[in-house]
Homo-oligomer: A and B are copies of this chain.
């Protein structure tokens, strides 16, 4: 997914002199000269990319939107994770990168939910066949969505145990579905916790 495809036929720019300006283990920085076709307007575009991990799916990662039903209540399963680029704890959908061996978005998402939250998926509702783009002016990084239900009264989900990488530090956060926006606004007030754009826009949608 990190290889940049050929320009679309209707690309409005002439792109030349593309080069990798930083090659890291986890992040590649590229730049390219652009000229808007039919004009003399030119510039340089710099962007961040994930190195290829041998992933054969059309997404760098998968975000899981999971509802948990337990004792008559319904929750969204979120995670809170300390994010080094921001130096803050961030509320996010559970998510993970696609591995080289992953055969489907569904497989990746079910595994990542289990690892990050301990919960076992009861029912898959829907998933996207490819990634959506997290920040397309700045990066090619993409994440597909997997929507699932978790039965919190199923014995397998009574004592959910995370299976974290040795360098991960993730808290599971359950938020009642109809109070998500209110919850996010409350916990982010003092600046100790922040939230991703796609969790927040998901919450905002209830206003429409």
Cβ-defined contact, A8 with B196, below 8 A? no
Cβ-defined contact, A82 with B12, below 8 A? yes
Give the contacting residue for A133; candidates B11, B194, B206; CB below 8 A.
Answer: B194
B residues in contact with A85, CB < 8 Å = 4, 30, 45, 47-49, 136-140
- Which of A30, A44, A48 is the most central at the interface, judged by chain B CB atoms within 10 Å of its CB? A48
A116 at the binding interface (Cβ < 8 Å): no
B residues in contact with A84, CB < 8 Å = 13, 15, 32, 34, 45, 47
Chain B residue nearest in CB terms to A7: B87
Can you tell how many copies of this chain the complex includes? Answer: 2
Q: How far is the CA of A208 from the CA of B176 in the complex (A)?
A: 12
B residues in contact with A100, CB < 8 Å = none
A contact patch SS: mixed
Q: How far is the CA of A30 from the CA of B128 in the complex (A)?
A: 32
**Chain A interface residue count, Cβ-Cβ cutoff 8 angstroms:** 87
Cβ-defined contact, B24 with A147, below 8 A? no
With known contacts A82-B11, A85-B136, A197–B63 Cβ distance under 8 A: yes
- Interface set of A (CB-CB < 8 Å, partner B): 4-8, 10-13, 15, 21-22, 24-27, 29-32, 34, 36, 39, 41-50, 63, 65, 67, 81-90, 92, 125-126, 128, 130, 132-143, 145, 147, 166-167, 169, 177, 188, 191-192, 194-208
Q: A8-B87, A25-B44, A48-B139 are in contact. List 18 more A-B contacts (CB 8 A).
A: A8-B89, A26-B45, A27-B29, A27-B48, A36-B166, A45-B84, A49-B85, A63-B201, A81-B137, A85-B140, A86-B136, A134-B197, A136-B196, A145-B200, A197-B198, A198-B200, A198-B201, A201-B205
22 A-B Cβ contacts within 8 A? Answer: A8-B87, A10-B89, A21-B22, A24-B46, A26-B44, A27-B46, A32-B84, A45-B84, A81-B136, A83-B133, A83-B137, A85-B138, A88-B136, A132-B195, A135-B141, A138-B139, A143-B197, A177-B208, A197-B197, A197-B198, A201-B202, A205-B205
